[in-house]
Structure 1
Amino acid sequence: MKVTLYVRLSMDRHGDELGVQRQEEECRAYAEARGWTVREVIVDNDVSATSDKVRPGFESLLASNPEAILCWHTDRLIRKTEDLLRVIALGVNVHAIHAGHFDLSTPAGQATAKTVTAWAEYEGQQKVLRQKASNLQAAKAGKPHKAGLRTFGYEDDYLTVVEEEAEAIRKGAEMVLQGETLASVARYWTGLGLLAPRSSSGKAKEKEGAKGWGVGGVKKVLISPRYIAQATYRGEVMGEGQWPAILDEATHYALVSALTSPTRFTGGARTGSAPQTLLAGLATCERCGETVRGGMYRGVPVYRCGQKHVRVPREVADKRAGNAVLARLVFPDFLPSILRANSERADDSAHLHQEAQTLRERLDGLAMAYASGSITISQLEAGSTAIRGRLEEVDSKLSGVTGLPPIDPVTGITGLIQDWPNTPLPVRRAWVAFVLSITMHTNGFRKAAKMTVDDYLTVGWNHTAPDDEE
């Protein structure tokens, strides 16, 4: 008799396939002892039989028209009645080393198999209930949820911080909050050689060019309450965890707001309230006085007002504004006063105003995320409390400082001038707003090829250097 071997392991924690290899060895020995010929070996490794996911090997088995099936135990082959009915439709014998023989071509064999499967299905459901109760109890006690693979940022004990990974998580959070994409964080982590736990386990770790981080994996890490030492159950925070936090609460909830808000940019038109261009909301239209916004015209990025009186190429306007800011910074009457003012002050209100605006947008983002079902009420309440606390601090500081855009304490004005294109957008916008007054002109019926930069916009100074104080 020719038999087809089917072997399966629900969870291969190390990716070494040793479990299915052991099953195959026993099945081959069993077949050889009875003089059977092994026609084919079909494997489902690291595949559950109780989830709704397709088992590729099982589907191949059904399609292979087997003469007989041999498995290590019947629960390796079937765990649900619906799968049993599909096997019964084959009308073949099923032999199990540790569960006997079912002749599914006869009514008696089918009835026996249905009974065994029904009890296996019942036990599986009971196991799920017991596991849920255990997980809930553990979460309330602040214990980590141990799902088989370690959590990125922590050791195999789920408690000890892996500092290299923790630092990468903090840097990734900073990148996102400065406006960079999840894809850029994924490339950054992968470039550091820090693979996701599943990719870096067992055999996957040894494969050349093992798969790196994806956008979904990065997002899952950055919005997980685990990284602020919060124990959760089914998405709800149950209490303080027994492990050290990697991120602070303000950063975590800022990430939740940014990454779960329905208005977040995901490849289509941007609908979020945070400015995504240098001059949106700063430059004005000469005709109607409205501030301009970013848009597209015949495939070209432009600035335009709501009435579409102006249509200025974004590249032209951004370059002109950037050059004007940098030129103003090197004026003899301007740089000394900037440096003196910066040395006399403990803070800068432009930076604080930007942070306050961002915090208010994050509060709105949390509310929208909750309304859309992306976060729970406990996450909304905790996040709002954390962000409002920081907002109160910022508003308090704003009450006693004068306006000056951010200056890097290490590189200073020189660094700003040299690295202007790579300076974060909020900082560049703050400097444009501080230094310049920009008016954009209507272009009438003139062709773009005949227009100069001055035809598109006029740049004026907002500030002149104050008189030296004795």
Structure 2
Amino acid sequence: MFIRGGPTIRADIYVRISQDLTGEELGVQRQEEKCRELITSLGMEVGQVWVDNDLSATKANVVRPDFEAMIASKPQAIVCWHTDRLIRVTKDLERVIELGVNVHAVMAGHLDLSTPAGRAVARTVTAWATYEGEQKAERQKLANIQNARAGKPYTPGIRPFGYGDDHMTIIEEEAAAIRAGAKMILDGWSLSAVARYWDELGLQSPRSLVAGATGWSLRGVKKVLTSPRYVGRSTYLGEVVGEALWPPILDPDVYYGVVAILNNPERFSGGKRTGRTPDTLLSGIGLCGHDACKDTVGGRGYRGVLVYGCSLTHTRTPRSIADDRASKSTLARLMFPDFLPGLLASGQTESGESAASMHAEAQTLRERLDGLATAYAEGAISLSQMTAGSEALNKKLQVIESELVGSAGIPPFDPVAGVAGLISGWPKLPLPTRRAWVDFCCIVTLHPQNGRHASSMTVDEHVTVTWRDVAE
């Protein structure tokens, strides 16, 4: 206990506030003023002032830098505005007790930690503070669940990318970037390409700004593009719990398409490449037209444009031009008079009745895939359930489509719908089926620019197509 007339005691001041919404530190400044007045009235001197502004004293993963520094400095005495500003949990109290110093609080009196009675009182006070903190956390948890189910945003957190500080008003510049990023994923771009695009626009993640980081990470981009928030769904701990009150940024069809792509377990996510299913029309099919190459091409990006190129980058043919020419040439081959007789003459391993049955089964599987996406959109199933179900159905669909390929290498062909059905349904055919028909009907060659600008080249200069002989 402090005795008047003895040596002057230097009392350190400790101030803390859990939330400083304005960032002006007014709360801790008011605490410090009252602490200085108490020190003067007790006849002590002001020592070091320790400030932990906008920091919780109850969260296990939160470190209070100035509290730690104060403990390490071994002060002669400690003055705080209230004991719950200094200690809220028992483990911190025991560390203060080990100092063997007196604690004076403006609003809670004196704690003499040098005596058993004083320590008992301090432990009791801290135990009740811990209890109240836990009760408050439970009440807050229930309130958060209720608000999420009602579609209200969690405004105490950092604002989400695309929305303002109220978590509801759309920031159009950021929203436009989100829509463009989603379209890039649907068009075959990578997460890193989207990250570079957002960085080039000068847009920062609000969370990165708070942390002092720069640039978008792949994880950050994926988290934005797969968050149900952007399709108008409210979540709690990662689970969709209701319709949101804020306006959506992405259309449901776009959003769920992006989610399906980014959560596909077969999607390449780092490490050594071991091969994967091509995700573009001409990857592994189109040929490089360079005289010394003749390698097949793959999809990639070049200066913001989706292109095809060989491994040595002899070609950078815009994907839109090459895909359009290859598709039109394939459809023209299908309509040519000699195609249907040649196709039927080549024969298939299964009977027409068997092929029709498998086509019907394939169509049923596709409808079930659409049904899974709809069920997820309506909240009837979780994302993990949709992903697992889609993976199983896609495997069955791949088996059926492979069985539909005849002994002559003919791609899946419905004898009931015929060539007319194949042509009219071309835009909606699965990518593997369209790739099989392009490869079956055509030899597609993509030519180097040879110093020319891509925009100055004609379609014929970019791409040439030679029809294959069906008899082969």
- TM-score normalized with structure 1 length: 0.60
Higher relative contact order (CA 8 A, sep 6+): 1
CA distance in 1, matches of 2:285, 2:329: 22
Aligned residue type for 1:65: K
Count how many residue pairs are aligned between Structure 1 and Structure 2: 358
Report the more deviating stretch, 162-171 or 52-61: 52-61
Shift of 1:119: 0.8
CA distance in 2, matches of 1:383, 1:327: 33
Deviations 1:358-409 (A, max 9, x none): x99xx8xx99xx9xxxx99522456799999xx9xxx99985437699xxxx
Contact 1:236/1:376, CA 8 A, preserved across alignment = no
Shift of 1:239: 1.8
Shift of 1:236: 1.5
CA distance in 2, matches of 1:182, 1:132: 34
Deviations 1:441-470 (A, max 9, x none): xxxxxxxxxxxxxxxxxx9964389xxxxx
CA distance in 1, matches of 2:67, 2:274: 45
1:240-259 correspondence runs (5 A): 240-259=243-262
1:85 to 94, 106, 121: 94
SS of equivalent residue, structure 1 residue 125: helix
For the pair 1:153 / 2:162, whether they are aligned, the reply is yes
Identical columns (%): 51
1:37 to 45, 65, 85: 45
Aligned residue type for 1:436: I
Shift of 1:180: 3.9
- The aligned residue for residue 304 of structure 1 is none
**How large is the RMSD of aligned CA atoms in angstroms?**
5.1
- The aligned residue for residue 83 of structure 2 is 74
For the pair 1:231 / 2:238, whether they are aligned, the reply is no
Contact 1:250/1:386, CA 8 A, preserved across alignment = no
- The aligned residue for residue 128 of structure 1 is 137
SS of equivalent residue, structure 1 residue 315: coil
Contact 1:102/1:113, CA 8 A, preserved across alignment = yes
CA distance in 2, matches of 1:72, 1:13: 20
- The aligned residue for residue 436 of structure 1 is 443
CA distance in 2, matches of 1:122, 1:328: 68
Report the more deviating stretch, 123-132 or 182-191: 182-191
Report the more deviating stretch, 122-131 or 4-13: 4-13
Deviations 1:388-443 (A, max 9, x none): 9xx9xxx99985437699xxxxxxxxxxxxxxxxxxxxx999999985379xxxxx
For the pair 1:26 / 2:34, whether they are aligned, the reply is yes
**Structure 1: runs of 5 or more not aligned:** 285-290, 295-312, 345-355, 406-426, 439-458, 466-470
Determine which structure has more spread, i.e. the larger CA radius of gyration: 2
Aligned residue type for 1:150: R
Aligned residue type for 1:4: D
SS of equivalent residue, structure 2 residue 311: helix
Shift of 1:326: 12
Shift of 1:225: 0.9
CA distance in 1, matches of 2:278, 2:48: 61
- TM-score normalized with structure 2 length: 0.60
- The aligned residue for residue 319 of structure 1 is 314
SS of equivalent residue, structure 2 residue 146: helix
1:165-244 correspondence runs (5 A): 165-198=174-207, 211-244=214-247
- The aligned residue for residue 13 of structure 2 is 5
**Structure 2: runs of 5 or more not aligned:** 1-8, 288-294, 299-308, 336-361, 398-413, 429-433, 446-462
Aligned residue type for 1:247: L
CA distance in 1, matches of 2:437, 2:249: 31
SS of equivalent residue, structure 2 residue 314: helix
Contact 1:75/1:120, CA 8 A, preserved across alignment = yes
Contact 1:13/1:149, CA 8 A, preserved across alignment = no
Contact 1:169/1:222, CA 8 A, preserved across alignment = yes
- The aligned residue for residue 443 of structure 1 is none
Deviations 1:249-268 (A, max 9, x none): 23323333444455544442
Deviations 1:144-166 (A, max 9, x none): 22234333322333332222221
Contact 2:282/2:435, CA 8 A, preserved across alignment = no
For the pair 1:463 / 2:458, whether they are aligned, the reply is no
Contact 2:145/2:236, CA 8 A, preserved across alignment = yes
- The aligned residue for residue 401 of structure 1 is 424
CA distance in 1, matches of 2:259, 2:26: 40
Aligned residue type for 1:245: P
